[in-house]
Amino acid sequence: MKGERTKQSILHRAVDLASLEGLEGVTIGRLAEDLGMSKSGLFAHFGSKEELQLATISAARDRFIDNVLRPAFEEAPGYPRLHAICRGWIDYVERKVFPGGCFFAAASFEFDGRPGPIRDAIQKIMDGWVESLEKSIIMARDEGHIRSDVDVKQLAFELNSLFFGANFAYELRTDRGALARAMRAIEDRLEAVRSSRTSPVAPRKTQIQRRRA
């Protein structure tokens, strides 16, 4: 138990470090120096640099799920949940869940040109992330909350682009207006596909009302 707690706190620091300085910089030596631990102590937890980096990616994934997806899944399926994922993503940049900005946006750009197990792990997570976004759009469509002819992949692509664009402008350009701009664009995109102008939590009722009218 104590070993597992130690490992988790090492990984917490590894994730923070990666978000600030890049995942490639997360090595046994760099992390030992940063934590004031011996390299052999770290080797007891992670047998190699690659194992350490894969464990770091996995810990970052858990942190993202806890901060963005899990809270959104407390919302009703459909439009409320889709909206909560978008709102949650922008909040997560503002709250500095990763001190150097989104771990996964950074790791995606860092490793896209470097074939190997690290790139594969990042791609798998990012494919899964975009699929989650697409599924939340499909669910909103199937609930009747958004238009049945919505282009699911197109909308997911545009939303994700806005998330990454917000992270870029906020982190590199320190543009404090970027998150509001991203949220405005997100609202525009979602509003354009909404089935009804009335409350998005009861669109089925609204559709019936429209048919009666």
| Residues forming the site for its own copies (CB under 8 A) | 19-22, 24-25, 99-101, 105-106, 108-114, 119, 122-123, 126-127, 130, 153-154, 157-158, 160-162, 164-169, 171-173, 177-178, 181-182, 184-185
Question: CA–CA distance from 63 to each of 28, 105, 136, 138 (Å)?
Answer: 21, 14, 20, 25
DSSP string, 79-147: HHHHHHHHHHHHHHHHTTSSTTS-HHHHHHHHHTT--SHHHHHHHHHHHHHHHHHHHHHHHHHHTTSB-
Smallest gap from Cβ 102 to its own copies, in A, equals: 8
Question: CA–CA distance from 42 to each of 47, 48, 62, 119 (Å)?
Answer: 8, 9, 21, 23
Query: Residue 36 or residue 113: which is nearer to its own copies going by CB?
Result: 113
Query: Residue 31 or residue 178: which is nearer to its own copies going by CB?
Result: 178
The length of the chain is 213
Smallest gap from Cβ 74 to its own copies, in A, equals: 27
List residues bridging with 146 in a β-sheet: 194
Q: Report the interhelical angle of 178-193 vs 79-94 (nearest 10°).
A: 170
Query: Residue 43 or residue 168: which is nearer to its own copies going by CB?
Result: 168
Smallest gap from Cβ 210 to its own copies, in A, equals: 26
Smallest gap from Cβ 50 to its own copies, in A, equals: 16
List residues bridging with 194 in a β-sheet: 146
Query: Residue 16 or residue 143: which is nearer to its own copies going by CB?
Result: 16
Smallest gap from Cβ 52 to its own copies, in A, equals: 18
Query: Residue 71 or residue 100: which is nearer to its own copies going by CB?
Result: 100
